[in-house]
Amino acid sequence: MTTTYLAGQYDVIVVGAGHAGVEAGLASARMGAETLVLTINLDAIAFMPCNPSVGGPAKGVVVREIDALGGEMGRNIDKTHIQMRMLNTGKGPAVRALRAQADKFDYQHEMKRTLENTEHLTVRQGMVERLIVVDGVCKGVITNTNAEYRAKSVVLTTGTYLRGKIIIGELSYQSGPNNMQASVELSDHLKELGFDIVRFKTGTPPRVNGKTIDYSKTEIQPGDDEPRAFSYETTTFITEQIPCWLTYTSPETHDIINSNLSRSPMYSGMIEGTGPRYCPSIEDKIVRFNDKPRHQLFLEPEGKNTEEVYVQGLSTSLPEEIQRKILMSIPGLEASKMMRPGYAIEYDAIVPTQLWPTLETKKIKGLFTAGQINGTSGYEEAAGQGIMGGINAACKALGKEPVILDRSQAYIGVLIDDLVTKGTNEPYRLLTSRAEYRLLLRHDNADLRLTEIGHDLGLISEERYQAFKNKKAIIAEEKSRLASVMIKPTEDIQALLKERGAGALKESVTAEHFLKRPEMHYEDIAQITPPEQPLSAEAAEQVEIQIKYDGYIAKQLLQVEKMQRMESKKIPEDLDYFAINGLATEAKQKLSVVRPLSVGQASRVSGVNPSDISILLVYLEQGKLAKIAES
Amino acid sequence: MEYETIAAISTPMGEGAISIVRLSGSKAIDIADRLYRGKASLKDVKTHTIHYGKMIDPKTDETIEEVMVSVMRGPKTFTREDVVEINCHGGLVSVNRVLELVLEVGAVLAEPGEFTKRAFLNGRIDLSQAEAVMDLIRAKTDRAMNVAMGQMEGRLSRLIQSLRQTLLEIIAQVEVNIDYPEYDAEEMTNRMLKEKAGYVQNKIKDLLTTAKQGKILREGLSTVIIGRPNVGKSSLLNNLIHENKAIVTDIPGTTRDVIEEYVNIRGVPLKLIDTAGIRETEDIVERMGVERSRQVLNKADLILLLLNYNEELQPEDIQLFEAIQGMDAIIVVNKTDLERKISLDKVRTLAGQSKVITTSLLKEEGIDELEEAVRDLFFEQGIESQDMTYVSNSRHISLLNQASHAIGDAISSIDDGMPVDMAQIDIRRTWEILGEIIGDTVSDSLIDQLFSQFCLGK
């Protein structure tokens, strides 16, 4: 082994500068920890190798949560998108979600500039090959250029770079995303250190030149007219938007794919990694859902200054030749010129049950992992873990208490709890249905849920915090006002009700009660009985949602209370489950792997049933009694 | 205190002289007090005292049972929590009803071994007993599971599984609309959702009502004796009561002086209702008209229609036949000790499906036949009462009731014009509760359903 040189000393080192890495680095530096971000390629900071988009159901809420904690993703996309849409507007507030199409190049440049201009943050190109581990504690990293960097904690965010392999038809080669250099040594090193590694797979569709698309054969998908933003800080809005377009596969597309399945690496056995069910390749969709006559394809521009268009829905690893034929079979794309082929990519990830809920590894103290390395997929999932990994790595380095979000506080909490408690056998994607308290984890109230935490950590500016407190006070004040103001059954009121198709008012009711009618909205109330100062749109929205869905919210809060009781019963990290006689064998094994920190977490481990939990409770109490007896 | 208040019947099930419903937890006294009527509120009584009073149904103010209630405040109790024991004077019927009421007003049904577990968790049992407690939990849970599994194999289990599948498909469709709003899946509208939820609700209701066998054993069959004056209704009543050494629940003090009497006829518990009313108002049909009396009679599970052997069929008799059309009835032609003037052929024609029995209550003849007819009517489908294990049974019923409430909440959300995803909260809850019945609560199956039902991708 060649000798290394000491290249620097930091509090926190973040390996990787994708969506997880940048959030980890920024959070850590903003908390005051001297932070180094190392990336294989400085031009790939916050790179979007797949969809040029941010947000969507569940994911969009994660972006809001990151923003409420003081993270960057929301602010960055607000500055660099080409269109934004609020999804699920016809449904309840719990499932509304914002999605933006990004200018993928602007997004990267803007994020790089933010990193470069952040105090306590150093960004450097370099490929990490080994960790410095002394007595089970991570002390730093060593790069392929023999640079040795020392730190109190290290966050690995290796994405699809970790022993990445691209597959296109019969061709396969070692590579990170979009032909970047893969990181091979580090994966072997992690195995040496004793980590369980799994192999996952994902994929991306071909891109075509937009000038060669006949959009007249497609349907336009414009952004919202109303200005939208992810960040609670954003005050200037991008008004000029670029539309997306919708087209479909044709019967010919299906024929081409069916007759070339033998050349698909998915079916020839060339791919060993497990792919996600929720983003199957087009060949997978056609095989598994062969009764579906056509599949949607969204044409998404990759930016303002490029003609490249992403064909969403056409992820594939078929040979390039076949990909071109497929494109020509699609209405609007008959004459299109493919600019890059789609590909499948395999990569290494660690089994996430090897992590504590802080994202620190159980095996090596001071080592954290975040993003795709933990078995997830998606920029938002990566960023959500990134910020938590960065926060906890910095907390560790600075001697502060770690921060764990629970399942009722944030989608990020659901995501991390799922990963470290249940593990995952395919790339994990957040879905709103994974959250049992969906109604509490809304897009609109992310600030109310998390700003305090962000502020306590020093990630939220004083100015923003004051604005937040002010908003909170206004909401509370208006809610109490509406609870006392009466609305009388006047002619005007009855006329309004009739106009909305609602039943007439029989007697005077409080404004609060009136607002609970499905046909009524806060703006109606504000007209009937205006507040002293008009409310901001966000405050008004809060008042309306909190009042309208009060009963449902109360029900969920009751469930949360139950959960938190179990959550507050702590389990020692080193509990020997095999010494607990009553536990079923399966429970002993599963609990020994996961080593849950609370009885609540233990109850979510698969294979652990309620009687095991009872026995665990009894056992824990026995331990307490023993301590009392000794003292 | 941090646990929910639990309740269960703490005496062995059967015909013991006294059955005890035991409550433990911070709300035990409060819950018992909401059902209790006595000299003083249970909240004000001294600890470790016992009180005479009545249990009432707070919804109807109906008296359920005369009871002795022990109030024991923690920590000097078995569980170290507040404990209330309601002593009922026997019989499945009343003790079950008291348990049901207690569960309705806020207690939760205790899991097997839970009182002991709490005793331990609250430090009541010393260290050396800890292992034994864990063994007990394991053993009791396994036994309860075995019993539950035994019941679950077969029709009920299949029914619940198919209901859950229906719910899962609904949920998956709503979820796909939410998580993939642009995907070209059929949009689940409120109307469709209501239709499907209504289907599930009906099925759950069916399950609850077709658990008639369970209900027979738990509550007794409400039985009404009708007939013209002087056909022998009182004699029949007295005969049934005395012959069978019945538990008589005399409930004075209620407004209408109703008497409910329980008799056990060859394993079929009958609850003879409103018998005082029958005694007084001999001619129910004449007084109320056929339609009204049908409504009244419809609430009964069994009707005993008495006719006079010694008289020809009267117009009033015919009216009675009309009134009981389609109901479970047994026709009793009494007074065979006298000369026959009635046409039994006519009676049989009018009786249709109902069995016709001839008796002389005076000479105590024909009573065996009548009792056999009662048993055959309700046990002919081969009900095996030993299969109705009490613990799991009441657990199932309690869960089915919860499921029924949850799906009802979902439907009223839809009716209130709430968005689909709000109703979804309760639909999902229904699915989870039904899962508890069959011991399947793995929520990952939703994700599986989502991706097998819909073709989603990037």
CATH classification of the domain holding A308 = 2.40.30.260
Once rounded to an integer, what is the mean pLDDT over residues A567-588? Answer: 89
Q: Which residues are within 8 A (CB) of B7 and not within 5 positions of it... i.e. 6 or more apart?
A: B21, B22, B23, B24, B31, B99, B102, B103, B107, B108, B109, B110
B39 touches chain A (CB under 8 A): no
List CB contacts (< 8 A) between B177 and chain A.
91
Q: Which class for B205: exposed (0-12), middle (13-18), buried (19 or more C-beta within 10 A)?
A: middle
Nearest one of B402, B418, B387 to B155, comparing CA atoms: B387
A296 touches chain B (CB under 8 A): yes
* Predicted pLDDT of residue A145: 96
Most confident of the ranges A49-53, A604-608, B243-247, B255-259: A49-53
User: Alpha-carbon distance B171 to B163, whole Å?
Assistant: 12
Number of domains in chain B: 3
User: Alpha-carbon distance B234 to B354, whole Å?
Assistant: 22
DSSP A86-130: EE-TTS-GGG-EEEEEE-HHHHHHHHHHHHHTSTTEEEEE--EEE
Instruction: Give residue A587's domain range.
Output: 569-622
Tell me which of A61, A62, A207, A278 to substitute to probe the interface with B (most B C-beta atoms closer than 10 Å). A278
Q: CA B158, B160, B164 angle in degrees (round to 5)? A: 115
Nearest one of A254, A334, A332 to A292, comparing CA atoms: A254
B418 touches chain A (CB under 8 A): yes
* Predicted pLDDT of residue B264: 66
Q: Which of B378, B409, B433 is the last residue of a domain?
A: B378
Contact residues, B window 117-176, toward A, CB-based 8 Å cutoff? 117, 120-121, 123, 126-127, 130-131, 133-135, 137-138, 141-142, 171, 175
User: Alpha-carbon distance A64 to A73, whole Å?
Assistant: 9
Residue B86 and residue B33 share a domain: yes
CATH classification of the domain holding A544 = 1.10.10.1800
Q: Which residues are within 8 A (CB) of B399 and not within 5 positions of it... i.e. 6 or more apart?
A: B433, B434, B436, B437
Do you know the residue count of chain A?
631
User: Alpha-carbon distance B196 to B209, whole Å?
Assistant: 20
Any binding-site annotation on A427? no
List CB contacts (< 8 A) between B110 and chain A.
none
Report CA torsion sign: B142, B144, B146, B148. Answer: negative
Q: Which of B353, B378, B403 is the last residue of a domain?
A: B378
Q: CA distances (Å), A493 to each of A45, A238, A497, A520, B258, in order?
A: 57, 39, 6, 11, 51
Chain B: residue whose CA lies nearest to A615: B134
User: Alpha-carbon distance A229 to A236, whole Å?
Assistant: 9
Distance from CA of B30 to the nearest CA of A (A): 20
Looking at A18-27, A314-323, A473-482, B226-235, which range is the least confident one? B226-235
Residue A605 and residue A582 share a domain: yes
Does residue A473 form part of some domain? no
CATH classification of the domain holding B177 = 1.20.120.430
**A552:B134 CB<8 A:** no
User: Alpha-carbon distance A14 to A457, whole Å?
Assistant: 19
Contact residues, A window 503-562, toward B, CB-based 8 Å cutoff? 518-519, 549, 552, 555-556
Q: Within its chain, how far is the Cα of B118 from the centroid?
A: 28
* Predicted pLDDT of residue B136: 57
Four-point Cα dihedral B37, B41, B47, B52, nearest 10: -20
pTM: 0.77
DSSP A625: H
Residue B428 and residue B411 share a domain: yes
User: Alpha-carbon distance A64 to A53, whole Å?
Assistant: 15
Q: Which class for A367: exposed (0-12), middle (13-18), buried (19 or more C-beta within 10 A)?
A: buried
DSSP A302-370: --TT--EEEEET----S-HHHHHHHHHTSTT-TT--EEE--EEEEEEEE-GGGB-TTSBBSSSBTEEE-
Does residue A466 form part of some domain? no
Q: Which of A323, A344, A365 is the last residue of a domain?
A: A344
Quick: pLDDT tens for A610-627: 778 878 887 887 766 555
A618 touches chain B (CB under 8 A): yes
**Single-letter residue type at B363:** K
User: Alpha-carbon distance A546 to A477, whole Å?
Assistant: 13
Report CA torsion sign: B119, B124, B130, B132. Answer: negative
Residue located via tokens 């990193």: A115
Residue A333 and residue A215 share a domain: yes
**B458:A438 CB<8 A:** no
A614 touches chain B (CB under 8 A): yes
List CB contacts (< 8 A) between B418 and chain A.
92, 518, 552
Does residue B290 form part of some domain? yes
Residue A197 and residue A301 share a domain: no
User: Alpha-carbon distance A177 to B56, whole Å?
Assistant: 71
Tell me which of B167, B179, B183, B186 to substitute to probe the interface with A (most A C-beta atoms closer than 10 Å). B179
Full pLDDT tens readout for chain B, 458 residues: 457 899 988 765 444 567 788 999 999 999 999 999 998 899 999 998 989 999 998 888 888 888 889 999 988 888 889 999 998 875 666 777 888 889 888 898 887 667 777 777 776 655 545 555 665 555 555 544 444 444 444 556 777 888 899 999 888 888 888 888 888 777 788 888 899 999 999 988 877 765 545 545 555 677 888 888 778 877 787 777 665 433 333 333 222 333 455 666 766 667 775 443 443 444 555 555 555 566 667 777 788 898 999 999 988 888 888 888 878 889 999 999 999 999 999 999 988 888 999 999 888 888 888 888 887 776 554 333 333 333 335 667 778 888 999 999 999 999 988 888 889 889 998 998 888 777 665 555 666 666 666 666 55
User: Alpha-carbon distance B15 to B18, whole Å?
Assistant: 8
**B181:A614 CB<8 A:** no
**Backbone torsions φ then ψ of A367, nearest 5 degrees:** -105, 125
Nearest one of B395, B426, B411 to B152, comparing CA atoms: B395
Quick: pLDDT tens for A265-319: 877 777 777 777 766 889 988 988 888 899 999 999 999 999 999 999 999 999 9
Q: Which of B348, B378, B408 is the last residue of a domain?
A: B378
Quick: pLDDT tens for A529-543: 999 999 999 999 999
A565 touches chain B (CB under 8 A): yes
CATH classification of the domain holding A603 = 1.10.150.570
Residue B238 and residue B191 share a domain: no
**Backbone torsions φ then ψ of A38, nearest 5 degrees:** -110, 135
* Predicted pLDDT of residue B371: 84
Residue B253 and residue B348 share a domain: yes
Out of A296, A434, A619, whose CB is closest to B183? A296
Sheet holding A171-174, edge to edge: A171-174, A165-168, A343-350, A197-204
Task: Find residue B255's DSSP bridge partners.
Answer: none
Residue A167 and residue A68 share a domain: yes
Quick: pLDDT tens for A251-273: 999 999 999 999 988 777 777 77
Q: CA distances (Å), B87 to each of A151, A242, B17, B26, B246, in order?
A: 69, 75, 10, 20, 20
What is the percent of chain A with per-residue pLDDT over 90, rounded to a whole number? Answer: 84
Residue A195 and residue A245 share a domain: no
Residue A66 and residue A88 share a domain: yes
User: Alpha-carbon distance A107 to A98, whole Å?
Assistant: 17
Residue B284 and residue B147 share a domain: no
List CB contacts (< 8 A) between A615 and chain B.
134, 137-138
Does residue A1 form part of some domain? no
* Predicted pLDDT of residue B226: 82
**B420:A91 CB<8 A:** yes
Q: Where are the alpha helices (DSSP H) in A148-209?
A: 185-192
Q: Which of A526, A555, A584 is the last residue of a domain?
A: A555
Out of A313, A552, A622, whose CB is closest to B425? A552
Does residue B90 form part of some domain? yes
CB pairs under 8 A between A and B: 137
Out of A51, A581, A625, whose CB is closest to B134? A581
Any binding-site annotation on B230? yes
Residue B358 and residue B244 share a domain: yes
**Which two tokens mark A224?**
């919202």
Contact residues, B window 435-454, toward A, CB-based 8 Å cutoff? 442-444, 446-447, 450-451
List CB contacts (< 8 A) between B451 and chain A.
277-278
What angle separates helix A550-567 from helix A537-548, to the nearest 10 degrees? Answer: 80
User: Alpha-carbon distance B139 to B142, whole Å?
Assistant: 5
Contact between A11 and A28 (Cβ < 8 Å): yes
Number of domains in chain A: 4
Residue A330 and residue A381 share a domain: no
* Predicted pLDDT of residue A130: 97
CATH classification of the domain holding B307 = 3.40.50.300
Residue located via tokens 């490249």: A308
Residue B447 and residue B417 share a domain: yes
Radius of gyration of chain B (CA): 26
Distance from CA of A486 to the nearest CA of B (A): 22
Better pLDDT: B10 or A144: A144
Instruction: Give residue B335's domain range.
Output: 219-378
* Predicted pLDDT of residue B404: 92
Residue A522 and residue A579 share a domain: no
Nearest one of A598, A544, A542, A560 to A435, comparing CA atoms: A560
User: Alpha-carbon distance B131 to B111, whole Å?
Assistant: 19
**Single-letter residue type at A237:** F
CATH classification of the domain holding B54 = 3.30.1360.120
3-state secondary structure of A81: strand
3-state secondary structure of A218: coil
Half-sphere exposure of A583 (CA within 13 A, CB side): 23
Does residue B31 form part of some domain? yes
Q: Is the pLDDT of residue A486 over 90?
A: yes
Chain B: residue whose CA lies nearest to A564: B2
Residue A163 and residue A140 share a domain: yes
* Predicted pLDDT of residue B373: 86
User: Alpha-carbon distance B109 to A59, whole Å?
Assistant: 39
